[in-house]
A and B are shown apart, each in its own frame.
Chain A
Amino acid sequence: MDDIWHILRDGPILLNIDDIKEKPGPYTISFGFDLRPLVRSIREFGLINAPIVTRGEDGCMDIVAGYRRIMALRSLRWKKVPCIDLSDSGLEPLELLLFNLHDNISTRRFNDVEKGMVLNRLIPFIPGKEIREHYMPLLDISNTMNLDILIRLEELDTQIKESIADGTLSLNATRLILDMDNRSRTAIFKWISNVKLNFNHQIQFIEYSTDISIKEEKSISELLDEEQISRLLEDKRTNNPQKAKHVLDLLRSRRSPFLTRSEKTFKKNISGLNLPQGVRIQHPPFFESPEYRLEILFRDGKELKEKIDSLAQIDRLKKVGDPWQEDS
């Protein structure tokens, strides 16, 4: 590494900005950032730290560090950029990558897309065991299962990656859409981003859609394009939480018609009993356990007795039970 200090000491050289590649290249690991503060800063105070570059195999300059600075300078229409050129440093590609990685990791946290970029760039050089043991903790990746997902994030459309980077699309939801065809993934993402589904709802929405699509042998995009579903998204009278509830209810009833019918029948039967105020009868989760639950809210013994007496008068209580018995 002695050479690099020598080069850094010699200071930057001026390069034409057009000679620097626009794409992130093999060393940079920035995605999903807000460029505006940096643009403002450069406009006001100038470029404080020179970006670091190296000549690629094609003769153009790859950015080693300072990808965002170069982007900011492009937007400010700078023609020449002072850069530190490591082309003759003798540093290997892995060293250049690690140089940038450590330059970044000391000052900020990576989002998930950036973690994926780091992993993708490391994988050709570093054995899997070392990635798991050394780089996973360094990148704050706790679950080995997430490695496979992170390294595939770069495949996704920019819009989806931006949602992952800003934390509005969960990694668990991403895992479920990674293997989908592009149209289905786009259709799912449209709902998630437009309705701003929370993380739990994202998973439910994707799972219901996937299950129905397989069961009915139609693509997810065909399913979500159905008029009955797409009109929920377009409905101007409902807000996002209402849209989320409506679509999830609809998909759930289509995924599990017998269960949802049983729940509805049970609810209808109970509401028909005219229970005293503060009295509730609930079925067990999914009707799996054989026991139903009676809940009575009361302020004192007198009120409790009144409610129990009132309950005892409801003859139809005897009929409370498994709702599918009525179906059959």
Chain B
Amino acid sequence: MRKDRIKKILVEHGAADHNLTSSVLKRLDNLPVENIIPDFPGQRHDFQDMDKETLRLIKFKGEVLKPCPGTRGYICCGYQILHVGTNCPLDCSYCILQAYFNQPSLRIFVNLEDELIRIGQIIDSHPDKIFRIGTGEFTDSLALDHVAGWSDILPHFFTARKNAVLELKTKTERIEGLLTSQYRDRIIVSWSLNSPYIVSKEEHGAPSIKKRLLAAKRCQAEGFTLGFHFDPMIQHPEWKEDYMRTIEMIDRFIDPKGIIWISLGCLRYMPALKSIIRRRHPGTHILDGEFVRGLDGKMRYFKPIRMEIYSFIGEVIKKWYNDPGLYLCMESDEIWHKSLGWSPENTDGLSLYLDKRVIEFFG
């Protein structure tokens, strides 16, 4: 993986007094630190590289726990996002976060521990509801763990709750913090996977599939439950053979019985992201496919193409293991039926399906 390139730390006003700030500054005590006033709303930045060499420590004032936004017309998994930071040191050409160029730098929210008290109250006041919570929506869950120390803070919070699970979604092999933690219950470590071709061409700075799976293997051996996400799947020359190689590698390294779910999702993007991708990654071919405007306004592969991809990959995975907890991310009832042969019908149905998986795995 690309070496850490953090060259300076900016501590925003209001962030200095938090424990998390002190621990980050201690871990990176060789770097210059500057105290700054927070950006005003709408402040413009012109960082072509997203300024990934700067780490900002921020007291986040927005909602720290919020439902995955989902989109109109498609079935959502009903997952909740724990907003621990934004941006990550990797530089995947398809990354949605490139569109938020008014929020540059690697950003860690240092008031997480205070917010967890409030989140704990929310979770505990709904004992009949299962909270599937993840941190991997706006950042990679583990890429900055060695800096932020999330694995010191989060696992014991979730292990203590019987109606919640934490999913740490990553492309990295930064599992040291997790492995040293004593908590395993109700923690899912999941890896974003792709074809080796896409990994090498488009996931800049991310470890190879083999390295990710070796890290997953280690986590599995250490008692963690695993998840995998084939998202975004991208058509490319010999994509079928190439995605099969990844699945063959999973077979080599991972015991399928320890996988709680595997999700599939094809590349989709907000129209405004296209010009940003073209500018930041001029050589990329990820936009070559036939994209159409979806019901939610995002660009997606033409429907029969998506169905072919899902049917093929779904079939290969099910042949490998018959109970992989397979689901589609943000797809329609029709695509579910025509690709996987069944459908949860709506977001509630998919949530129920995934909640059942949680109960099967964690009780």
Contact = CB atoms under 8 A, between A and B. Distances in A.
Question: Are chains A and B native binding partners rather than an unrelated pairing?
Answer: yes
A292 interface: no
Nearest to A286: B292
A322 B73 CA distance: 19
A324 B304 contact: yes
A227 to B, nearest CB: 24
B304 A289 contact: no
Contacts of B285: 214-215
How large, as a class, is the contact surface on chain A?
Answer: 20 to 34
A288 B303 contact: yes
Contacts of A176: 275
A132 interface: yes
A249 B333 CA distance: 32
B292 A214 contact: no
A259 B290 contact: yes
- A interface, by DSSP: helix, strand, loop or mixed? helix
A285 B294 CA distance: 9
A179 B304 contact: no
A322 B304 contact: yes
A144 interface: yes
Contact of B287 (A211, A257, A290): A211
A144 B44 contact: yes
A287 B293 contact: no
A258 interface: yes
Interface string B271-301: 0000100110000010110101111000010
B302 A259 contact: yes
A187 to B, nearest CB: 18
B290 A256 contact: yes
Interface in A214-256: 214-215, 255-256
Contacts of B44: 128, 132, 144
Interface string B324-335: 000000001110
Contacts, number: 51
A214 B304 contact: no
Given A144-B44, A214-B285, A215-B285, A285 B293 contact: yes
Contact of A290 (B278, B290, B300, B334): B334
Given A287-B303, A290-B332, A211 B290 contact: no
Contact of A288 (B275, B279, B287, B295): B295
Contacts of A324: 304
Nearest to A257: B290
B302 A286 contact: yes
A255 B295 CA distance: 21
Interface in B100-151: none
Contacts of A215: 285, 288
A258 B292 contact: no
A12 B333 CA distance: 79
B288 A214 contact: yes
Contact of B304 (A210, A211, A258): A258
A175 B274 CA distance: 13
B6 interface: no
A210 B278 CA distance: 10
B279 A179 contact: yes
The 5 closest A-B pairs by CB, nearest first: A286-B292, A290-B334, A215-B288, A256-B290, A324-B304
Given A210-B278, A286-B292, 8 more contacts: A132-B44, A148-B46, A179-B279, A256-B290, A256-B302, A285-B292, A288-B294, A324-B304
7 contacts: A176-B275, A214-B285, A214-B287, A256-B290, A256-B292, A262-B304, A290-B333
